[in-house]
């Protein structure tokens, strides 16, 4: 049971769940105070499930506030036979689907890029895992009767602002191709790890697109529209794109295969003995098939054991028993491969907006 400690829990009148108007301050590593942006601390990256209060936060604008007597409703309209309007009660009366899903911000590890690029300087903590619960989006799209010729579904958040000083004020808007929107695992989530979504993570309802970088999972949903043409908004065409070799732009979608070393941290000094090096690996394309570890910066490799829960859309824990042969300096690196054969690259492909930073990340250790 989620008990609200907030003294200002008055913004909604007809909701059976406790709500806060003020976001709670958390133990996240702060990247920005307003809008709130924070990453999961390194120590928590050892936990398969990320506690809600330590789940990374990436907001483009201030967290939206509702008037005290406003009742939240989600509108579904556009190229459909029956436009819908649904309350949170309506959502809660539908069969619930629960899925463990890892979200990673497309700019995770941006601070590792050389030369540096503008944007939030995330280290490796803009990635977290929760058990999300809600209603498959497909159920509502089916109920609304999508008409022939629909190509995309557009999602609008309640949050509004100027994405850059040169842009007009606008809501956070992102679209999905119709086949992804209709995928049975694409969720409209109202719970995170058994608790109602917090204000920071999109209360009362958000989209969660399994296997896609986090920008697709629109928070604070107010409207869903079925479109007959592609959406060309700022967060679709000017951001979350990566330049190709010919100067064109490729939109970012599925999470590329990646791993991190949770323990040890870089610049640790360890007495000479055996250790269990551990970490996480994930890919939006398929299950993780293999994680290899090197203690010489990638010259030689050994296989790690895949341990713990194994689900399609959540990261995979791994362990590697490491016995350093002598005292001295070691460069530990991990490299993941998924079941589609995608191999984590040794080097990230540099790009000017700083996305998909999945090259292996060295961890320097001194054995004494
Ligand atoms: N949805 C809205 N409405 N506004 C936002 O700024 N940020 C997106 C996405 N959904 C965003 C949003 C980005 S870039 C990411 S990485 C994820 O939310 C982060 O979700 P989280 O803050 O719950 O971790």
Question: 256-301, pLDDT tens digit by residue?
Answer: 999 999 999 999 999 999 999 999 999 999 999 999 999 999 999 9
Mutational test site, ligand 1, from 51, 174, 219, max ligand atoms within 8 Å of CB? 219
Distance 301 CA to ligand 1 centre (A): 36
Sign of CA dihedral 92, 93, 94, 95: positive
Average pLDDT of span 112-122: 96
Give the pLDDT score at 70. 64
**What is the residue with the minimal CA distance to atom 12 of ligand 1?**
218
**What is the residue with the minimal CA distance to atom 9 of ligand 1?**
215
- The three state secondary structure string of the chain is CCCCCCCCCCCCCCCCCCCCCCCCCCCCEEEECCCCEEECCHHHHHCCCCCHHHCCEECCCCCCCCCCCCCCCEEEEECECCCEEECHHHHHHCCCEEEEEEEECCCCCHHHCCCCCCCCCCCCCCEEEEEEEEEEHHHHHHHHCECCCCCEEEEEEEEEECCCCCCCCEEEEEEEEHHHHCCCCCEEEEEECCEECCCCCCCCCEEECCCECHHHCCCCEEEEEEECCCCCCHHHHCCCEEECCCCCEEECCECCCEEEEEECCCCEEECCCCEEEEEEEECCCCCEEEEEEECECCCCCEECEEECCCCCCCCEEEEEEECCCCCEEEEEEEEEEECCCCECCCCCCCCCCCCCCCCCCCEEEEEC
Using only C-alpha atoms, the chain has a radius of gyration, in whole angstroms, of 21
**What is the residue with the minimal CA distance to atom 14 of ligand 1?**
215
**What is the residue with the minimal CA distance to atom 7 of ligand 1?**
59
Question: 266-275, pLDDT tens digit by residue?
Answer: 999 999 999 9
For strands 316-322 and 363-367, give the pairing: unpaired
Average pLDDT of span 75-96: 96
Average pLDDT of span 318-340: 98
Query: Could you give the CA distance from residue 220 to residue 198 in angstroms, rounded to a whole number?
Result: 10
Mutational test site, ligand 1, from 29, 44, 54, 60, max ligand atoms within 8 Å of CB? 60
**What is the residue with the minimal CA distance to atom 11 of ligand 1?**
59
**Percentage of the chain modeled with pLDDT above 90:** 89
Task: Answer for the pair 301, 336: CB distance below 8 angstroms, yes or no.
Answer: no
Measured from the Cβ of residue 89, the count of other Cβ atoms closer than 10 Å reads 10
Question: 15-45, pLDDT tens digit by residue?
Answer: 333 333 334 456 999 999 999 999 999 989 9
Q: What is the mean pLDDT of the chain?
A: 92
Average pLDDT of span 89-96: 96
Distance 48 CA to ligand 1 centre (A): 21
Between residues 20 and 157, which one has the greater pLDDT? 157
Question: 205-244, pLDDT tens digit by residue?
Answer: 999 999 999 999 999 999 999 999 999 999 999 999 999 8
**What is the residue with the minimal CA distance to atom 5 of ligand 1?**
59
Mutational test site, ligand 1, from 58, 127, 200, max ligand atoms within 8 Å of CB? 58
Domains of the chain (ranges, CATH numbers): 8-26+255-367 (2.60.40.650), 52-251 (3.90.420.10)
Closest ligand 1 atom to 61 CA: 6
Between residues 13 and 163, which one has the greater pLDDT? 163
Choice among 5-9, 34-38, 178-182, 270-274 with the minimum mean pLDDT: 5-9
Query: Which residues does ligand 1 sit against, CB inside 6 Å?
Result: 55-60, 103, 105, 157, 159, 172, 201, 214-215, 217-220
Distance 214 CA to ligand 1 centre (A): 6
Closest ligand 1 atom to 56 CA: 24
pTM exceeds 0.85 for this model = yes
With a CB cutoff of 8 Å and minimum separation 6, the contacts of 47 are none
**What is the residue with the minimal CA distance to atom 10 of ligand 1?**
218
pLDDT at 5 exceeding the cut of 90: no
Query: Could you give the CA distance from residue 70 to residue 32 in angstroms, rounded to a whole number?
Result: 29
Give the pLDDT score at 298. 95
Give the pLDDT score at 20. 36
Give the pLDDT score at 22. 39
Distance 219 CA to ligand 1 centre (A): 6
Query: Closest Cα partner for 341 from 269, 264, 287, 300?
Result: 287
Distance 165 CA to ligand 1 centre (A): 20
Question: 220-230, pLDDT tens digit by residue?
Answer: 999 999 999 99
Distance 303 CA to ligand 1 centre (A): 35
Between residues 268 and 5, which one has the greater pLDDT? 268
**Percentage of the chain modeled with pLDDT above 70:** 92
Closest ligand 1 atom to 221 CA: 3
Average pLDDT of span 171-198: 98
Average pLDDT of span 54-73: 85
Report residue 247's pLDDT band, with 50, 70 and 90 as the boundaries.
confident
Give the pLDDT score at 245. 86
């Amino acid at each position: 049971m989620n008990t609200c400690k907030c003294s200002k829990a008055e913004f909604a009148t007809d909701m059976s769940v406790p709500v806060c108007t003020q976001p709670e301050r958390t133990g996240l590593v702060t990247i920005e105070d307003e809008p709130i942006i924070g990453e999961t601390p390194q120590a928590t990256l050892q936990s398969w499930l990320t506690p809600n209060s330590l789940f990374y936060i990436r907001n483009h604008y201030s967290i939206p506030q509702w008037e005290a007597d406003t009742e939240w409703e989600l509108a579904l309209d556009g190229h459909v036979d029956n436009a819908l309007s649904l309350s949170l009660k309506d959502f809660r009366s539908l069969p619930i689907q629960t899925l463990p899903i890892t979200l990673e911000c497309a700019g995770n590890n941006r601070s590792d890029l050389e030369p540096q690029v503008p944007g939030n300087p995330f280290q490796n903590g803009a990635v977290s895992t929760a058990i999300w619960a809600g209603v498959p989006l497909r159920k509502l799209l089916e109920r609304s009767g999508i008409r022939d010729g629909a190509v995309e579904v557009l999602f609008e958040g309640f949050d509004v602002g100027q994405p850059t000083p040169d842009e007009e004020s606008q809501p956070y808007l992102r679209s999905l191709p119709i086949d992804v929107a209709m995928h049975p695992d694409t969720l409209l989530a109202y719970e995170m790890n058994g608790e109602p979504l917090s204000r920071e993570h999109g209360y009362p309802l958000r989209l969660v697109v399994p296997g896609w970088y986090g920008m697709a999972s629109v928070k604070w949903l107010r409207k869903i529209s079925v479109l007959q043409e592609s959406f060309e908004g700022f967060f679709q065409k000017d951001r979350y794109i990566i330049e190709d070799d010919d100067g064109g732009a490729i939109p970012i979608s599925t999470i590329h295969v990646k791993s991190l070393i949770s323990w040890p941290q870089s610049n640790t000094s360890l007495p000479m003995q055996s250790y269990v090096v551990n970490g996480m690996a994930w890919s939006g394309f398929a299950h993780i098939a293999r994680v290899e570890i090197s203690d010489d910066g990638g010259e030689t490799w050994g296989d790690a054991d895949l341990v713990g829960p194994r689900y399609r859309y959540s990261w995979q824990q791994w362990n590697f028993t490491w016995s350093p042969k002598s005292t001295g300096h070691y460069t530990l690196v991990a490299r993941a491969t998924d079941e589609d054969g995608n191999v984590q690259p040794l080097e990230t492909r540099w790009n000017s907006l700083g996305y998909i930073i999945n090259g292996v990340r060295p961890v320097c250790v001194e054995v004494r």
